[in-house]
């Protein structure tokens, strides 16, 4: 087994530095492949990351990040519930919350309505090869702290409800 990860979500996407965990006998070959396929690396980014990992600042950063994400998750879920959108599952951690829209509401239609008002949403079928998630939307809690998002979502749901009555 090989595990590949990065620091782009927890530290900065601009660091462009990751890691590989593998059997020791595989690491030399992986290193050779990295050297053969890369034109260069960012030494400054590697030094910054090394310092953060060895001086304890990355651990402190992660502890604060967990608290901020937990708060953002609670706030996002509360705002979604206030407009009638229920989480499918309430995650204990992470940056995404999946929600099931009210019965008969098409997530793609809601996403198009919102996109026309500069709110970008991720309808469930974008993640479903079988196209069986048409009633779901995935929200990124790190991008969901603007009241305009919820106002626009509420308008979209109202519009959908009015169209069904006609």
Helices (H), the chain: 24-37, 43-54, 57-82, 107-115, 147-165
pLDDT band at 42 (very low <50, low <70, confident <90, very high): confident
Asked if the model's pLDDT at residue 90 lies above 70, the reply is: yes
Q: Tell the residue number behind the tokens 């519930």, with chain if given.
A: 81
- % of the chain beyond a pLDDT of 90: 69
What's the pLDDT score for residue 44?
85
Q: How far apart are CA 122 and CA 111, in angstroms?
A: 7
Q: How far apart are CA 166 and CA 160, in angstroms?
A: 10
- % of the chain beyond a pLDDT of 70: 98
Q: How far apart are CA 158 and CA 154, in angstroms?
A: 6
Taking residues 114-143, what's their average pLDDT?
94
pLDDT band at 39 (very low <50, low <70, confident <90, very high): low
Which residues in the chain are classed under CATH 3.90.1150.10?
Answer: 61-165
Tokens representing 106? 């098409």
Asked if the model's pLDDT at residue 18 lies above 80, the reply is: yes
Whether the model clears a pTM of 0.85, i.e. scores above it, the answer is no
Q: Is residue 87 classed exposed, middle or buried when 0-12, 13-18 and 19+ CB atoms within 10 A define those classes? A: middle
Q: Which fold has domain 61-165?
A: 3.90.1150
Q: What is the mean pLDDT of the chain?
A: 91
DSSP 136-151: EEEEEGGG---HHHHH
Give the Cα-Cα-Cα angle 138, 84, 159 (nearest 5 degrees): 90
DSSP state of 95: S
DSSP state of 78: H
Q: How far apart are CA 21 and CA 24, in angstroms?
A: 9
Counting Cα atoms < 13 Å in the Cβ hemisphere of 118 gives 2
What's the pLDDT score for residue 7?
86
Q: How far apart are CA 121 and CA 124, in angstroms?
A: 10
Taking residues 87-100, what's their average pLDDT?
94
**Number of other residues whose CB lies within 10 A of the CB of residue 94:** 12
What's the pLDDT score for residue 148?
98
pLDDT band at 34 (very low <50, low <70, confident <90, very high): confident
């Amino acid at each position: 087994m090989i595990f590949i990860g990065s620091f782009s979500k927890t530290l900065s996407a601009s660091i462009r530095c990751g890691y590989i965990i593998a059997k020791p006998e595989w690491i030399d070959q992986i290193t050779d492949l990295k050297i053969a396929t890369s034109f260069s690396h960012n030494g400054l980014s590697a030094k910054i990351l090394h310092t953060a990992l060895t001086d304890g600042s990355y651990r402190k950063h992660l502890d604060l990040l967990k608290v901020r994400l937990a708060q953002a998750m609670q706030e996002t879920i509360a705002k979604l519930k206030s407009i009638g959108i229920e989480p499918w599952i309430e995650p204990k951690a992470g940056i995404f919350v999946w929600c099931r829209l009210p019965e008969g509401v098409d997530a793609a239609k809601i996403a198009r309505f919102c996109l026309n008002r500069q709110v970008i949403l991720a309808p469930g079928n974008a993640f479903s090869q079988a196209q069986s998630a048409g009633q779901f939307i995935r929200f990124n809690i790190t991008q969901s702290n603007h009241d305009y998002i919820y106002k626009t979502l509420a308008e979209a749901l109202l519009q959908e409800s009015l169209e069904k009555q006609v």
